[in-house]
A and B are shown apart, each in its own frame.
Chain A
C-alpha cells in the first residue's frame, strides 16, 4: 500500500472532537486543509481547474472562506477522483431525494479509515458506550457490495458502537415483531434509522398492540436518526410533532433523541444534535454559512447555504462542498452543553427553483 504522509491531517484526527475553541482550532484545521488542498490540486484535474478558475493559491496565506467550493450536484454530474482508480475499493451512492440522480463518491482505504476515526470520536462524545443496536432497516440494505447506498454506508459506519445488532424490518421495510420480542429490559438499547423511515414505521404501527407491548419493555433507549427532513416537511410534520411521536412510540425521553446531520459527500464528519437541539461542528470539519445572493459569510443567526469543509476526503476532492441545505450558525464556543466550536441549526433543504414566467419551458 502506498504510504501517504499527511502529518497535519493525522494530528487533527488525534484531537478530541469538541475540546478546543474555535480560535485554536482555526490554526490546526487550516494546516490540515492546506495539506489536503495540495493533494487534490495535484491529483484531481477538476479540482485544479476549479481552484485555477477562482485564482485560488493553496500555498499562499489564505482564509478558509476563500477555499473554492464544489456544489454537491457536481458529484452527480462528474466522477471526481483524486487517486489512481485501482485504489478505489468502495463507491457510495447518495439517496437522491431531491433529484433522481445520486451522487457517486469513490472511497479508498485512507479516506475510509479517516472517516471511521472521525465518526467514532464524534459519536463517542454523545453515546459514551457501546449499546445494543436495533436498526430500523432490513438486513438486505447492507448486503455486501462494492457499490453501496448511503443508507448501508451509514449503518456500517456505526458498527463500532454496536454491542449487538438486530435489523427490525423485513425486506419489504415492514416491522418484524419477532425481532422486537427479543428485547430485554435489562439491556441498553439504541434505535438507529433514517428519519423518513422511522416516521413511516411509527405511523404504521402506533396502534399495533403487539409492537407497542414489545417496545414497552424498553427503558429510555437512545434514538439516532439521520437523513433529510424533506419528506416530513412535505407533509407538514414538525420536529416537535415528530419527537413527540418518537418519545411515545419508543418509550423514551426527548433528550435521548439525536438527529445526526451529515452528507454522503463527506461521510464521517457528522453533526449530531446536543440536548439543546444544536448541531455541533467537530474539530475535523468546519462550516461556513453563505449568503445565497452575495455568497459572502453570514453572521450568527442569519440563514444561508451550508458550506462544509473537511480535510478528510483523500480519494475524491470533496474537501469543500456547498450543500443544497440552508442553515444558520447559533453560536461559537458557548453552547450550554459545553462543547467547543461552532454550532448551528438546519433550516431547510433547497427545492427546485420556482419558475413562473412565460419563458418557462419544460423539456
Chain B
C-alpha cells in the first residue's frame, strides 16, 4: 500500500475524502456541536441508537456478520440504558440534572468531558464503533482517527443520517462525529489530535498504543486504552463429558470472529484433565467446528501471504513436537502439545489446546495483558477459579462463544464513566 496522506473522510455529515494540511477545522466543527448534543434528551438518544443498531444489523449484515445479532441486543434501549445506568452510579438522568445519590450533603451531575478522539484498529473496527456510541451517549463529540482500511467504519457512521426519531435527526447527530485519516508519519496532525482530546481512546496493538501514548496531551485528558491484550479458555473434564460438542462449536466462533485479531480472541484452550486422550479428542472436535464455522458461519476472508507462511511454520514446528490438525489450506489450525503455558499468538485461526496446570497458569496470569478468560465448569467452581485468577490479571470472564461480544465494562473499565466529569453541589444553601 502506498503512502496515504492525511485527509478528512467525513465532516459535517458529508463524505468528503479531502487531503488536508491541518485538522484544526475538524476540531472546530465538532466543538461547535457540543451544546447541541448536550441539549438532547438521554432517552431519546438511547431510542436513536436502538433504531440504528437494527438498521446496521439489517443493512450491513454481510459485513458485520455474526456480530449483527449482538449489535441489536447491545444497542437496544433497555440494554444500553441499563449499561449507562450502571456506569453512572445507577441513574442515567445524572447526565441531565443534579441527582441525589444518598450522600448526606451533595447532589451530583455528570457532564461530558468534551472531545473524545478514537484511534481505531483496522481489524476490529466494529469494536471501535462501540466506543464511539458510548461517547455520544454520554454527550461527548467524537473525532475518529480511522485505520487504513476504513470502508466499513465510514459506511456505518455515514448511515447515521438515515435514522431519525421523533426528536433527533440523524443528519444533526452525525455532525457530532468527524472522521479523519492521519498518516502515522504526520506528526503535526497526530499531535493536534492528541492535544485537543479530552478523552483519548486507543484501540490497537502494542506498537500503535505506545505510539499514541507518547503523543503530547492535556494534563486533564483521560486515557482509555483498549488493548493490547491476550485471552484464553479453561474447561474442566466434567464439562467436556457433558457438552464437548457445544463447547467446541462455541470456541470455534470465538476463534473465528475477528480472525483472532481482537484482544478478546482466545489463543489457548486449557483442558483440566490428566487424560491426554480426552484433550486430543476435544482438539479434534474443535477442528471440526472450526471447519464448519469457516464453511457456514464466518468464512475466512483472506490471509496475507506472510501470515500464511507463519502458519505453515508453526504447523511444521508443532508437527514435530506435538500434533496438528488443520485445513488443507491455511484457513484454520488446531495444535496439541506437551507445553503448558499460554501459547504465543499466531492469530489467523490458530488455536492451541493444552493441559491445564493451575500453578503454571497462576504464574503467567499475572500480567495486565490478560483480558478475557472464558471458563467452562460448574458455577461454584467457576466463581472460585475466577476469583483466584483475576486477583492479578484478567478483566472479563464471559461464557465461551461470547468472548468477543462487546460489553460494558470492557478491559476492566466502565468506559462511559471515564467519559464524564462529576459535578457536585450542596443540597441546601
Contacts and interface: CB of A to CB of B under 8 A. Distances in A.
B328 A360 contact: no
Interface stretch (B54-62, B237-245, B309-317): B309-317
A1 interface: no
Interface in B117-136: 121-124, 127
A356 B147 contact: yes
Interface stretch (A86-94, A153-161, A250-258, A292-300): A292-300
Interface string A138-164: 000000000000000000000000000
A73 B305 contact: no
A35 interface: no
List 10 tightest A-B contacts by C-beta distance, closest first: A358-B227, A360-B205, A357-B261, A292-B308, A358-B263, A357-B123, A292-B305, A353-B307, A353-B306, A361-B228
Contact of A77 (B267, B302, B317): B317
A276 interface: no
Contacts, number: 137
B226 interface: yes
A359 B228 contact: yes
Contacts of A291: 329
| Size category of the binding interface on chain B | 35 or more
Contacts of B379: none
Contact of A361 (B127, B205, B262, B317): B205
Contact of B316 (A50, A294, A304): A50
27 contacts: A53-B324, A74-B316, A74-B317, A293-B302, A295-B330, A351-B306, A353-B309, A353-B310, A356-B122, A357-B124, A357-B205, A357-B258, A357-B262, A358-B121, A358-B124, A358-B205, A358-B228, A358-B262, A359-B228, A359-B258, A359-B265, A359-B267, A360-B228, A360-B261, A361-B345, A361-B369, A362-B228
B263 A359 contact: yes
B231 interface: yes
Contacts of A326: 305
A332 interface: no
A13 B313 CA distance: 31
A49 B320 contact: yes
Interface residues of A, number: 35
Given A292-B303, A361-B228, 12 more contacts: A46-B320, A49-B320, A74-B313, A74-B316, A292-B308, A295-B330, A353-B304, A356-B121, A359-B264, A359-B347, A362-B205, A362-B207
Given A71-B309, A363-B369, A295 B328 contact: yes
B48 interface: no
B208 interface: yes
A354 interface: yes
A352 B304 CA distance: 11
A350 interface: yes
Contacts of A294: 328-329
A15 to B, nearest CB: 31
Contacts of A324: 309
B256 interface: no
A302 to B, nearest CB: 12
Interface in A334-363: 350-363
A91 to B, nearest CB: 20
Contacts of B313: 71, 73-74
A305 B310 CA distance: 12
A78 B321 CA distance: 10
B230 interface: yes
Contacts of B305: 292-293, 304-305, 326, 350
Contact of B204 (A293, A350, A352, A357): A357
A358 B123 CA distance: 8
Nearest to B331: A293
A322 interface: yes
A2 B308 CA distance: 41
A354 B148 CA distance: 13
B226 A360 contact: no
